[in-house]
Structure 1
Amino acid sequence: MVFLFLVYVMLMLNAAAAATPKYVFAHYITGNAAHITQDQLESDMKIAKHAFIDGFALNIAQQDQNTDFVLQKAYAAAEKVGDFSLFLSFDYLSGGPWPVDRVVDTINRYKPHPAQFYYNKKPLVSTFEGVGNTNDWTEIRNKTDCFAMPDWTSLGPESFTNVRDKVDGFFSWDAWPFGTENKSTEGDEAWANATGGKPYMMPVSPWFYTNLPQWNKNWLWKGAHLWTQRWEDIYYFQPDLVQIISWNDYGESHYIGPVHEDGIPQGASRYVQDNPHDAWRALLPYFIASYKTANRSRIRVVRDTLVFWYRPNPNDSGSDGGTTGNSPQHGQPAMDPRLLAEDKIYIAVLVKEPSFILAQIGDGPIVSLEAQHSGINSFEVPFDGQLGNTTFAIVRDDKEVAYATGPPITKECVDGTINWNAVVGSS
């Protein structure tokens, strides 16, 4: 699949004009990479670069015996790929809090590496949570000279203001909407204000569904419009950095990287295997170029591209598998997941000129939609009880300029349970 379909004014012009360049990273779960080879890591990094991603945020858990092994492979792979950066994201929930001395040792061990990402001339370091260890970071910063940009989202913006002097910036994990409302930038505005002028890293994620009983995880959040809506928000919000959640968190269904079967957590194969999300990356060059230039007039689409996503099973197909809408674990009221997961196909197109978009489910009627302007256009098409394979096309001047097909919408559910993950494809 070729994603370099954009010609745009060199992003270096934007970097030169800004006091601090903008960057986009993808969250990478090292715990899912124990069996991945260095060659596979290099391939993933090349694919990420091709989508204009600057590097990976390496999520590491202190009780994972493979952490150091994966880090060594990752840094070696990034150095070989070249022009691809890494930084450490210490996971304080998976496996428990990190001891200060081990955090210091890990940062100091990898910060001299050529692939280590530096921000404001310091090695960038982040976390996944760790609100019980906020006091550790004064010592960690003193002993490593790192640029600490943690995710302490569970504190809330008001409480974060009491500890922001201990760090250099903030990364929010608040990437999904709660309940039936679409995601807004209200939380981003609150966090950006709470940093007191320090850099803010904004999250973006295309989806969320998890069913991993061994970790007591079984919920979904509304996500149908996230991939297009949040990048639109990023374009206007213009945060200092962006982090995509995620590259390879298969268990939570928001992966945009290739599926490596050895990395799928136990229990997730039912909704992940044979269900790639690679096509979501087809939109990234446009999204990232828009963010970094802050001026879409400098971007020209040179290849008409259509991306679609939908759930393979309608809401009345089978058992909900005990999945809740919203997460009681996060103090949210549980809802019927069917209220958040609509029976619709979602379509995003990048077109060179105004065009018509055609969509069909099975042998049903062809739906005609109008992309009224060049660049990004988004649509949704209800299932309306139809089943079967899906077909899509971009038509302009009575000529088909792009074509795609998708797997069937079906009431045949694996193990009788609705798959709440997304099917994703492109032209």
Structure 2
Amino acid sequence: MFFAPFIVPALLATLAQAGYGSSRKLHARAGARSGLDTLTRAPNATVDIAERAADTTKYVFMHHIVGSKYPYVQSDWNADIAEIGAKEIDAIALNFGSDSWQKDQMHLAFKAAEGTSLKLFLSFDYTAFDCSVSKTLAYMTEFKSHPNYFYYNGKPFLSSYGGGYDCLGVDGWKQLQNAGNYLMPFMWELENRFSDPWGFLDSWFCWGCAYPQSNEPKNTLDDQWYYSMLGSRYATTASSWMFTHYSWTNKNFYLRGDDWLGAVRWEQLMGMRDQLTFTEIITWNDWGESNYYGPFRYKDAQPTGTYWAEDFPHTALWDMTHYYITAFKTGQYPTITEDVIYFWARPHFASVTASSDSLGPPNGQAWAQDFMWAVAFSTDVSDITLCMGASCTTFTNQPAGVNKLKIPLAAGKMSVKMVKRSVTVIDHTEEGFVFNAASVVDKYNYNCYAGSAKATSATSTTATSATSVTTSTATSTSASSASGLTIGTAATSTSASTSASTSTSASGLTIGTALTAGTTTTATTTAGTTSTTATTVTTSSSSSPTWTSQGCIAEGTTGSRRALNGINTSSDNMTPTICQAFCAGYDYAGVEYGRECYCGNTLTNNGASGLVADAASCDVHCSADSSAACGGTWFLSLYATNGKTATQPAASTDPSTGGWTSLGCVDEGSTGSRRALTGASFSEGGMTPSRCNTLCAAYTYAGTEYGTECYCGNTIQNNGASGKAIDSSRCDSKCGGDSSLTCGGTWTMSVWGKQALPGTTTASTTDWTSNGCYSDSSTRLLRDVFWEDSSMTTELCKSHCTGLGYKLAATEYGSQCLCGNTLYYDGGSGTSLTSDRCNSACQGNTAQSCGGSWTANLYTAPASTPTKRREVQSKRAPRTWQNLWGLL
């Protein structure tokens, strides 16, 4: 977010640490605390997933940045309120800082809302607003009595951007709640603390969950990760684009807004609808980050140096979003009553060089996909043509409903055409945009230009319910069933190069629209069609096969990621039975994401392991049967026939099997792909350290990350990685296959190895000396490394510290291990106690003692003498973390 008049110097350091926004660090996790308090015991992450009171209403908010409204007068606010309210938004989140003029603008906003059903609420931006409870309450008192102020459960709604540990703190937020407010903040650094000490929050929303956090289409793994900790308190966000390019803040990055993000994100939220109460759209007017939906009213409203927003409208995306807002609020997709095509594209190729841009290309440049994107809403079967200049592709017999299409970028203007029953109902060329196909441009611009074209009422046909959602791309070939069944239709490309069209779902589902390559670029011709309905397949079998459930299976990690690579389809009437009927003739049938069906004879295509994962990963209800599970995000609910079965995971859960030793938490790199381990990689919902070690058996190192990812390698200093252990609190993601274990974090890995990390040495743990039982406290007696494992033993802790090069090791609380080279005795820690005070059995070996509650069994490496140190704690100012999403 931006407030044009301000600059935050702290942002530079934060950006340097995170490596631009570095993929998933753009989540709520915009910086891990490194103070001593991060070594305290991790809280229980059990959450209450009960329904929110009796109110089952779904609310959609619009994030509105008051700091970009300095030139606004009353008529401008009147227009904003009208345009936002027309799309069924429930309330506007007014994001603001401390400037008095911003308060004046908020009064204009509330005045504009008078007499309408649209509500507003305050969203304090604590990167620009004073970290003051009293001032916060004063603002609430000033505005909450307005008839258009948004209340929930009888309480005035209070939101924020920031304000956590580095600002108001736990006590400050409790005071705000005790004053009668309903709290829904976004604050970073709360991961694994949502139950304690932040369990009192009414809600919490994830700002960064609106965007993909790596070079792949958006999925809901991040949403589900937070939901696992917050339950019904979780709220999330939706957006369509993200690009920013500022030299004066060193803020220069692009997130993958491709893959129809503005539509796909809402389809994902529909799949999560039962889990959500609040969704916030970001944003109405953040010109600097290219995630605006509103019209551009004033040049002076954008931050200094912004050249990529003014001539790149997004209002068409806002019009398209109305359809999805209605669906989310009502629980069903609305009837399509008019034919319209929404389309958008960037102004140049991803790989260009900018001759007059001293800042350089944005981080994430390589993530940008070189396509024109389109979403077509049609009331009847139609032929749809997309053009970039003279390069056109026609997608024939597209079903009534929503069709997502794309074609490669090419020089010229964007044009769209829709023909229904031989009648052209849309034929439009966007005159305000021309794609520059040159390899060298003046300045980098990864924003998009969005347009739309509607059919006139005279040419629209009978309305249809949106029961069909397909996706087509002019770059790959469709699949056919084993019995010769053709799903979809044929189309013809007028592009000179050979191409093909495939219908694909939001997460890559192939529907199978065949496309015939054209040989000229002068005309578009349409091939004949051979279409059938995917959900009414007839087979030649005289008896129905018997299908048996195999559990939840992870998709692959490479290529299309599809574990099953036969035919596939999608339907809003999907159930396992329908999918099984569709897959007649195949050994496997898998349902995914509530409405998708995949068929195949092998389970291990595109890097898939074929192993049964945690059933919790298949948590999406079937679109036609809410009592049944139909997979998850990149997970299949799998069924088999003909005697086939899926592979169960290995029984061993001991990560040390095979000579592996825990080496602690290790940072990823800072350049290139950022991967410290560059061998094989895997992603499975049931990931554990032992599973990753098994997958990496042929390598020296194995690292788990982000709960479900596994990386292998023989060296651990690739792409700028130091290969050194860091504070274990940075590895805070629970393993997908065992929530009691830790599997890395955001760009950090929990590493196991067959040899020590570079620069460290190994030593026999049998020669360590026991120093007895010592007291511990929140200041910690050993401060270099903290690690927790449900299989903790004395040997495991000593081996862990040995591998990291430390001379002191301590076990505590049955499952914790601390390492260091100095024994601190201050704040109640470091005092020798009688052995009976260390009375917790090691969780990995109950015959051993692993400390107790704030007591630790201390051990010293061979030829070492404990170094004691008393440290007087000085009062330090809290660390200030600036989230990468905004300036102030």
Fold-level similarity (TM above 0.5): yes
Matched pairs, number: 387
Indicate yes or no: 2:412 matched with 1:388: yes
- For 2:398, the equivalent position in structure 1 comes to 372
- For 2:856, the equivalent position in structure 1 comes to none
| Pair 102,56 (structure 1): closer, same or farther in 2 beyond 3 Å | same
1:56-67 superposed matches below 5 A: 56-62=92-98, 64-67=99-102
What is the deviation of 1:413? 10
Corresponding letter in the other structure for 2:283: S
SS of the aligned residue for 1:58 comes to strand
Q: Contact conserved, 1:359 with 1:391, CA < 8 A, in 2?
A: yes
Corresponding letter in the other structure for 1:357: I
1:28-427 superposed matches below 5 A: 28-62=64-98, 64-80=99-115, 82-93=116-127, 95=128, 97-132=130-165, 133-135=168-170, 136-143=172-179, 145-152=180-187, 154-174=188-208, 175-198=210-233, 200-224=234-258, 225-238=260-273, 239-261=276-298, 262-268=300-306, 270-296=307-333, 299-319=334-354, 321-326=359-364, 337=365, 339-364=366-391, 366-370=392-396, 372-383=398-409, 386-406=410-430, 407-411=433-437, 416-427=442-453
User: What do the CA deviations read for 1:165-188 (whole angstroms, capped 9, x no partner)?
Assistant: 332111110221122111111111
What is the deviation of 1:371? 6.4
| Pair 390,61 (structure 1): closer, same or farther in 2 beyond 3 Å | same
For the residues of structure 1 that align with 2:184 and 2:397, how far apart are their CA atoms? Answer: 40
Indicate yes or no: 2:60 matched with 1:27: no
Corresponding letter in the other structure for 1:237: M
User: What do the CA deviations read for 1:243-267 (whole angstroms, capped 9, x no partner)?
Assistant: 1110000000010001122311111
| Pair 195,97 (structure 1): closer, same or farther in 2 beyond 3 Å | farther
For the residues of structure 1 that align with 2:268 and 2:396, how far apart are their CA atoms? Answer: 23
For the residues of structure 2 that align with 1:284 and 1:374, how far apart are their CA atoms? Answer: 18
For the residues of structure 2 that align with 1:156 and 1:222, how far apart are their CA atoms? Answer: 25
What is the deviation of 1:213? 2.5
Q: Contact conserved, 2:59 with 2:278, CA < 8 A, in 1?
A: yes
User: What do the CA deviations read for 1:343-368 (whole angstroms, capped 9, x no partner)?
Assistant: 1101011111222210112123x201
For the residues of structure 2 that align with 1:118 and 1:344, how far apart are their CA atoms? Answer: 43
| Pair 110,104 (structure 1): closer, same or farther in 2 beyond 3 Å | same
User: What do the CA deviations read for 1:54-97 (whole angstroms, capped 9, x no partner)?
Assistant: 231111112x34221111111111114x111111111122x265
SS of the aligned residue for 1:126 comes to strand
| Pair 25,124 (structure 1): closer, same or farther in 2 beyond 3 Å | same
Corresponding letter in the other structure for 1:170: W
What is the deviation of 1:402? 2.3
Corresponding letter in the other structure for 2:312: N
What is the deviation of 1:377? 1.6
Q: Contact conserved, 2:245 with 2:362, CA < 8 A, in 1?
A: no
Give the unaligned 5+ runs of structure 2.
1-53, 454-888
| Pair 19,209 (structure 1): closer, same or farther in 2 beyond 3 Å | same
- For 2:830, the equivalent position in structure 1 comes to none
Give the unaligned 5+ runs of structure 1.
1-17, 327-336
Look at both structures and tell me which one has the larger radius of gyration over its CA atoms. 2
Corresponding letter in the other structure for 1:54: D
Q: Contact conserved, 1:391 with 1:405, CA < 8 A, in 2?
A: yes
What is the deviation of 1:192? 2.3
SS of the aligned residue for 2:199 comes to helix
| Pair 87,403 (structure 1): closer, same or farther in 2 beyond 3 Å | farther
For the residues of structure 2 that align with 1:163 and 1:129, how far apart are their CA atoms? Answer: 17
For the residues of structure 2 that align with 1:308 and 1:371, how far apart are their CA atoms? Answer: 19
SS of the aligned residue for 2:434 comes to strand
What is the deviation of 1:162? 2.2
Cα RMSD (Å) of the superposition? 2.0
SS of the aligned residue for 1:409 comes to coil
For the residues of structure 2 that align with 1:127 and 1:370, how far apart are their CA atoms? Answer: 48
User: What do the CA deviations read for 1:198-255 (whole angstroms, capped 9, x no partner)?
Assistant: 3x32200100001122333111111113101101011111121111110000000010
For the residues of structure 2 that align with 1:188 and 1:159, how far apart are their CA atoms? Answer: 16
SS of the aligned residue for 2:83 comes to helix
Corresponding letter in the other structure for 1:233: Q
For the residues of structure 2 that align with 1:393 and 1:23, how far apart are their CA atoms? Answer: 35
User: What do the CA deviations read for 1:281-302 (whole angstroms, capped 9, x no partner)?
Assistant: 1212210111112123xx2111
User: Higher relative contact order at CA 8 Å, sep ≥6: structure 1 or structure 2?
Assistant: 1
TM-score calculated relative to the size of structure 1: 0.86
What is the deviation of 1:398? 1.4
Q: Contact conserved, 2:155 with 2:181, CA < 8 A, in 1?
A: yes
Corresponding letter in the other structure for 1:73: L
User: What do the CA deviations read for 1:323-347 (whole angstroms, capped 9, x no partner)?
Assistant: 4335xxxxxxxxxx1x211211010
SS of the aligned residue for 2:444 comes to coil
For the residues of structure 2 that align with 1:346 and 1:97, how far apart are their CA atoms? Answer: 42
SS of the aligned residue for 2:225 comes to helix
For the residues of structure 2 that align with 1:111 and 1:340, how far apart are their CA atoms? Answer: 43
Corresponding letter in the other structure for 2:304: Q
For the residues of structure 1 that align with 2:399 and 2:130, how far apart are their CA atoms? Answer: 50
Corresponding letter in the other structure for 2:302: I
What is the deviation of 1:412? 7.0
SS of the aligned residue for 2:114 comes to helix
For the residues of structure 1 that align with 2:438 and 2:308, how far apart are their CA atoms? Answer: 13
For the residues of structure 1 that align with 2:440 and 2:92, how far apart are their CA atoms? Answer: 33
